[in-house]
């Protein structure tokens, strides 16, 4: 079941997206952020909180900012002080937080660089060991056919989440996503330890990651399957959460280049810097990212704005490539959100999904269920979810976030998830090879719709290239929401890089083909 698409249009759209991303990236790499430098310290091994429960990475980075040193990066002053005082990472972080040591630029820059590289190499070795563990577990586990069944847990209590996650895995889920506590994306710090009091979700902390990873490994071993773990790598602490996920062997991260700007009003400059570092870490750790284009269709009309999804996916693809990410890790997002009252809406959903599948043939696409037009009528909702699953099966989607018939009523109960899994498994099994048996009518409604969306996306990208991505976001061209480059939360955490700025991770994590990669 293939669309006859104009490959020259796809190539032109992708080339425009590449130029858009490179222009933004070049500007972003003249600066750093507090989150990037905190992530660097976390990868070095700094963890814990002070007597006021402020995370030590925050204390050290705030100290560097107060001393006017943050533009040089955290790595050099911190590694230099370790050599000067003979302290390990944790002891130095505690001493700085207690005011017993003042960080300065090291007198012996080459020695400090060497020390920082050694710390970074230790972190990279731990991350690569996690990659090897994942690969070993996948090799020994039963083959998981796609689409993977993706389910969420969101109790607010990590121990309750573990109970629900185990149940979901036993019912057939392939991927467990732990929804973050409401508003965590706007916190400019990462909470510490195991948490039990989240609202609408559970705080993303390194200890929570460790606990859930261990629980899913345990239940996966019992079932003879590998259960993938997902969390949210977005917001003001995007790089830090990527670092924590890499250290604790998460498998997927919600990690979009523009979602935080558009939907959380996080500063545009801050986000573009942070998304590069976070995706670099995710790519090195073999973590599949999920982008957030599906959210565009909750605020804009899914039919009229379909081309904005494709344009954003192409931009997200190019930003991810600049971070060293292979297409096999790019879980580009889209959704089944057309108004069910629209005549031939199923045809348009099929056209959009097949278009995305063909434009990104190697990407593990993440397909989102209907939410905007779920009314609380559970019987109609179950039918809508079945149609969504049918499109996923027919078009070869890779990651299928299961619809819940109780969407818009309450957070799903265990039985709601069971019915969602039952619905999906029935449709995927009974329609397993349907897409290979069908052909799309040349010049018919589905093909014409896909060609129209592709042409609109190309035109949109060429317009964005002409005015620049910040200006396009300022005009509200994505999701009908406008954000300005000097507005939003977190701008104060953006710092111009000083001459001699140093961070050891890009040269270790980026492929050789990218600037800053290993020599």
- Hey, which residues are catalytic here? 259, 294, 366
Please count the other Cβ atoms lying within 10 Å of the Cβ belonging to residue 52: 7
CB 435 within 8 A of CB 396: yes
Report in angstroms the alpha-carbon separations of 475 from 108, 350, 484: 49, 30, 9
Q: Are strands 252-254 and 288-290 parallel, antiparallel or unpaired?
A: parallel
- The C-alpha atoms of residue 303 and residue 352 are separated, in whole angstroms, by 9
User: Would you say 293 and 478 are in contact if contact means Cβ atoms under 8 Å apart?
Assistant: no
Compute, in degrees rounded to 10, the torsion defined by CA atoms 307, 309, 313, 319: 100
- The closest alpha carbon to 419, from 453, 371, 381, 370, belongs to 381
Classify 53 as helix, strand or coil.
coil
Residue 19, preceding peptide bond in cis (omega within 30° of 0):
no
Partner residues linked to 313 by β-bridges: none
Residue 492's CB is within 10 A of a number of other CB atoms, namely 12
In sequence order, which ranges of 289-344 are alpha helices (DSSP H)?
A: 296-299, 306-322
| Radius of gyration of the chain measured on its C-alpha atoms | 23
- Structure token digits, residue 109: 């820059």
Q: Which two tokens stand for residue 472?
A: 């396009």
CB atoms within 10 A of CB 444: 11
CA distance 352 to 465: 24
**DSSP bridge partners of 178:** 153
**Can you give 213-267 as a three-state secondary structure string?**
HHHHHHHHHHHCCCCEEEEECCHHHHHHHHHHHHHCCCCEEECCCCHHHHHHCEC
Query: To which H or E segment does residue 177 belong?
Result: strand 175-178
Q: How many angstroms separate the CA atoms of 59 and 101, rounded?
A: 12
- H or E stretch including 399? strand 399-401
| Cα-Cα end-to-end distance for the chain | 44
Give the three-class secondary structure for 418: helix
Q: Which class for 139: exposed (0-12), middle (13-18), buried (19 or more C-beta within 10 A)?
A: exposed
Contact 252, 289 (CB under 8 A): yes
Task: Count CA within 13 A, CB hemisphere, residue 6.
Answer: 16
Distance of alpha carbon 423 from alpha carbon 403, whole angstroms: 9
In sequence order, the β-bridge partners of residue 368 are 335
């Amino acid at each position: 079941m293939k669309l006859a698409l104009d490959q020259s249009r796809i190539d032109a759209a992708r080339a425009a997206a590449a130029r858009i991303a490179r222009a933004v990236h070049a500007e972003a790499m003249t600066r750093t952020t507090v989150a990037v430098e905190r992530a660097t310290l976390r990868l070095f091994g700094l963890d814990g909180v002070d007597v006021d429960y402020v995370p030590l990475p925050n204390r050290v980075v705030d100290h560097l900012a107060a001393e006017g040193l943050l533009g040089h990066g955290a790595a050099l002053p911190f590694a230099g002080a370790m050599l000067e005082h003979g302290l390990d990472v944790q002891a130095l972080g505690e001493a700085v937080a207690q005011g017993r040591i003042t960080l300065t630029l090291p007198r012996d820059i080459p020695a400090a660089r060497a020390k920082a590289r050694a710390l970074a190499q230790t972190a990279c070795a731990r991350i690569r060991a996690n990659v090897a563990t994942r690969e070993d577990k996948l090799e020994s586990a039963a083959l998981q056919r796609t689409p993977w069944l993706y389910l969420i847990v969101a109790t607010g209590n990590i121990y309750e989440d573990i109970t629900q996650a185990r149940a979901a895995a036993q019912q057939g889920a392939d991927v467990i996503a732990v929804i973050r506590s409401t508003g965590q994306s706007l916190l400019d710090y990462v909470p510490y330890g195991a948490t039990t009091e989240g609202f609408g979700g559970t705080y993303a902390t390194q200890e929570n990651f460790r606990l859930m990873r261990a629980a899913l490994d345990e239940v996966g071993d019992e079932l003879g399957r590998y259960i993938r773990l997902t969390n949210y790598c977005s917001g003001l602490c995007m790089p830090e959460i990527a670092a924590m996920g890499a250290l604790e062997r998460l498998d997927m991260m919600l990690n979009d280049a523009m979602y935080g700007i558009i939907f959380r009003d996080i500063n545009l400059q801050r986000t573009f810097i942070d998304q590069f570092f976070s995706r670099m870490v995710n790519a090195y750790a073999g973590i599949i990212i999920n982008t957030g284009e599906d959210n565009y269709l909750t605020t804009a009309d899914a039919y009229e704005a379909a081309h904005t999804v494709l344009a954003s996916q192409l931009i997200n693809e190019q930003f991810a490539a600049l971070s060293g990410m292979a297409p096999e890790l790019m879980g580009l997002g889209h959704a089944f959100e057309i108004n069910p009252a629209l005549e031939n809406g199923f045809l348009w959903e099929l056209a959009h999904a097949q278009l995305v599948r063909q434009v990104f043939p190697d990407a593990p696409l993440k397909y989102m269920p209907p939410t905007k037009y779920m009314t609380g009528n559970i019987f109609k909702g179950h039918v809508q979810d079945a149609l969504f699953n049918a499109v996923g099966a027919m078009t070869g989607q890779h990651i299928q976030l299961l619809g819940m018939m109780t969407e818009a009523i309450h957070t799903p109960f265990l039985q709601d998830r069971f019915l969602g899994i039952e619905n999906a498994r029935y449709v995927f099994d009974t329609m397993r090879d349907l897409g290979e048996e069908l052909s799309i009518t040349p010049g018919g409604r589905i093909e014409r719709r896909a060609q129209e969306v592709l042409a609109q996306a190309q035109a949109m990208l060429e317009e964005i290239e002409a005015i620049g991505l910040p200006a396009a976001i300022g005009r509200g061209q994505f999701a009908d929401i406008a954000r300005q480059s000097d507005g939003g939360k977190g701008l104060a955490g953006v710092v111009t890089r000083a001459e001699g700025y140093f961070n050891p991770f890009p040269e270790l994590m980026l492929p050789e083909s990218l600037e800053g990669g290993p020599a």
